[in-house]
Homo-oligomer: A and B are copies of this chain.
Amino acid sequence: MARMEKAKKVNRPRVVVVGGGFSGLAVVHALRKTEAEVVLVDRQNHHLFQPLLYQVATAALSPGNIAAPIRRIFSRQDNCSVIMSEVTDVDLEGRRVTLPDRTLPYDYLVLAAGVRTNYFGNPGWVEFAPGLKTIDEAIAVRGRFLLAFEQAELEGDLEARQAVLTFAIVGAGPTGVEMAGAMAEISRQTLRRDYRHFDPQSARVILIDFADRVLPTFPPDLSRRAHRDLESLGVEVRLDTRVIDVGPGGLTVARGGDEQCIAAGNIIWAAGVRAVDLAERVGTPTDSAGRLEVGDDLTVPGHPEVFVAGDLAHRIDPALGRPVPGVAPAAMQMGRFVGRTLAAELQAKAAGSPVPARPAFVYREKGDLATIGRNRAVANIRGLRFGGVFAFLLWAFVHVLFLVDFRRKFSTFLEWIWMYFFYERGVRLITGEGRTPRPKRPGHDDSVTIRPDRTYRGS
């Protein structure tokens, strides 16, 4: 009660932070010693460690290993209150955001609401090719992936069984590569002894990208290494390949002039991201993916009180000559930058000193890591490029290191040790929406739209 009264006693500047991802948390944390009243709004009650979400989708980790209640993280930061709600609109002139049941005035606004899966103008594809952004999506992907093997055990028709056991992953960035590697490992190793009527190794994992190499943001030699690693796990890699259609029975792809249908029981969409819908309500310039363009101080043009941080920001880095990438370290850096900028201004104002000039955000590249599977990973750390066991261990170390708290670091570490030594994944559960197979359009005849891919014989 004491805390609540204290919170109301003065007319403190209010900072509204939209989004409890890496950058939102960093902003709030940096404001902990200020007099600001901080309000963090998120649609979920939990912060999600996105880089490991694919491990929930592939039965290695539980949601509880990688997600933590936001209000717990700030339970001892008395100047922060957390609201589980959704910001549906922003009124820049009136300096307030709209929630379903109220408006929330602000003195400073930090938009850190991130991105969502991008279907590039085909919103209907979401039904057949889920993305991987929330825990519920990961649980559904996990369930449908495992359900495919259960269906295969009961399926007598060989062609139908092969279609059920075909997993197409669209997008060969880190998430797509990690998903493909994990799905191949599960079918080749984890499930090896578990079925009686078919061989789980007959599952096909197909990784599709329009680019000419996997991990296109990595140096070409690491792309080649990752490509080799994927193929050694049994993943079919299809590059220079565009997805033309996605439907209930599979997908149609084109390479050069050749179109081909692939009968696939499961499709995962990891092909791109787009700003959350809120971004277009702001009304300031955006890039082609809807991200908000920001200046050197990460504010939108004409509104020095409105910051954008994390994946939602489109910021051309002067040193890189291209946008700051949408990766966790960049989001953390932006959040910290915004929080510190605000803290300095608020402290100056409170002390009656002149407000310092805004610094410019400088992105420090930490390097890139992607894992393909057991002992298989690639790393590009400040020009040092390597793969294999050492990159794999570095990847695991860094990811455990950045997990929210000790409890989650420890439990994730243990799950990984277990998986590494016993080749078993601890969370092979079919629950949630994953209990129902991928929806089929009613009355839709698979065999007409999607011709089973009889010609393809592996790469």
Q: Which residues of A contact B (CB under 8 A)?
A: 1, 3-4, 7, 44-46, 62-65, 67, 69, 71-72, 75-76, 81-85, 101-102, 135-136, 139, 146-147, 150, 153-154, 193-197, 199, 407, 410-411, 414-415, 418, 422, 424, 426-432, 435
Contact = CB atoms under 8 A, between A and B. Distances in A.
Given A146-B45, A407-B418, A431 B196 contact: no
Given A3-B196, A4-B197, A72-B424, A63 B429 contact: yes
Contacts of A76: 193
Given A4-B196, A62-B62, A135-B431, 20 more contacts: A45-B147, A46-B428, A62-B63, A63-B429, A69-B428, A69-B429, A71-B194, A72-B194, A75-B194, A81-B196, A84-B430, A407-B418, A407-B422, A407-B424, A410-B414, A411-B411, A411-B415, A411-B426, A414-B414, A432-B432
Given A72-B424, A81-B196, A146-B45, A64 B411 contact: no
Nearest to A418: B407
Contacts of A71: 194-195
A101 B63 contact: no
Nearest to A415: B411
Contacts of A63: 62, 427, 429, 431
B193 A75 contact: yes
A434 to B, nearest CB: 10
A157 to B, nearest CB: 12
Contact of A430 (B7, B45, B150, B407): B45
A4 B197 CA distance: 7
13 contacts: A3-B196, A45-B428, A46-B428, A46-B429, A62-B65, A63-B429, A69-B146, A81-B153, A84-B150, A135-B429, A136-B431, A407-B426, A411-B426
Nearest to A3: B196
Contact of A7 (B75, B82, B196): B196
Nearest to A197: B4
Nearest to A410: B414
A39 to B, nearest CB: 9
Nearest to A74: B194
B83 A431 contact: no
Contacts of A85: 154
A193 to B, nearest CB: 4
A369 to B, nearest CB: 26
Nearest to A153: B83
The 6 closest A-B pairs by CB, nearest first: A62-B62, A64-B427, A81-B196, A84-B150, A69-B428, A75-B193
A63 B135 CA distance: 14
Contacts of A146: 45, 69
Contacts of A135: 429, 431
Nearest to A101: B154
A76 B432 CA distance: 28
A84 B64 CA distance: 26
B72 A429 contact: no
Contacts of A101: 154
Contacts of A195: 71
Nearest to A43: B435
Nearest to A408: B426
A152 to B, nearest CB: 11
Contacts of A410: 414
Contacts of A407: 418, 422, 424, 426
Contact of A150 (B45, B415, B422, B432): B45
Given A63-B427, A428-B45, A197 B150 contact: no
A411 B427 CA distance: 12
A427 B68 CA distance: 7
Contacts of A81: 153, 196-197
A58 to B, nearest CB: 13
B4 A67 contact: no
Contacts of A418: 407
Given A75-B193, A199-B1, A432 B136 contact: yes
Contacts of A46: 428-430
Contacts of A430: 44-46, 84
